[in-house]
Amino acid sequence: MGDLIYQGRPVRFNNTIKMVEPPPGIEGEGFFMTKLNDVVGLGRKNSLWPLPFATSCCGIEFMATMASHYDLARFGSERVGFSPRQCDLLMVMGTIAKKMGPVLRQVYLQMAEPRWVIAVGACASSGGIFDTYSVLQGIDQVIPVDVYVPGCPPRPEAILDGFMRVQELVENESVRRRNSPQYKALLGEYGIQ
């Protein structure tokens, strides 16, 4: 903490807060030039809005991840939304029954591009211990997944690690990727236009 004098009064401020690094570029007096891709990536990376799709125990770990000790807000993601149209990161946590598959897919389809998906825990990633007729053996059977977080349940640290891996993908993603033939082919595999 340090002291700053403002209008004759001491103001205490926290000078240990780490600011994000600017992307590489060329700078001079009064200007800074960089790539559009890097600026967009930086902005998106630090303002992901998660949509928690929590059906069972892994959801409790997510609650801990959001709470003050682990504090997902440090990554610019405190704004958890429950409307798919306002979110860009779908976090699927818990056992997904086959009956729930179409619902999950519908939520995914309602999210605007660009959107990312994390499968949190063994159940969302692979069905986990529930190798039964009624449980979806991994959400990637119905929607594309960007990052899988292992564990049953994964600790909040693991969820944060998965989140940071999504941030890496977001930061380095080309602004053109969503219009690329490869991405369209990926969605086509899931029957999504």
The residue ranges that bind ligand SF4 (CB under 6 A) are 56-58, 94-95, 121-123, 128, 152-153
E strands, the chain, where? 2-6, 9-13, 26-28, 31-33, 50-54, 89-93, 116-120, 147-149
Of 93 and 170, nearer to ligand SF4 (C-beta) is 93
Of 40 and 57, nearer to ligand SF4 (C-beta) is 57
Of 131 and 189, nearer to ligand SF4 (C-beta) is 131
Cis peptide before 24 (omega within 30 of 0): no
Q: How deeply is 34 buried, as exposed, middle or buried, from its count of CB atoms within 10 A (0-12, 13-18, 19+)?
A: middle
As measured in angstroms, the least distance from the Cβ of 72 to ligand SF4 is 18
Of 72 and 123, nearer to ligand SF4 (C-beta) is 123
As measured in angstroms, the least distance from the Cβ of 102 to ligand SF4 is 20
| Token pair in block for residue 167 | 């941030």
As measured in angstroms, the least distance from the Cβ of 56 to ligand SF4 is 4
Q: Rounded to whole angstroms, how far apart are CA atoms 105 and 144?
A: 10
As measured in angstroms, the least distance from the Cβ of 31 to ligand SF4 is 50
Of 89 and 122, nearer to ligand SF4 (C-beta) is 122
As measured in angstroms, the least distance from the Cβ of 61 to ligand SF4 is 7
Helix and strand numbers, DSSP H then E, in the chain: 6, 8
The β-bridge partners of 11 are 4
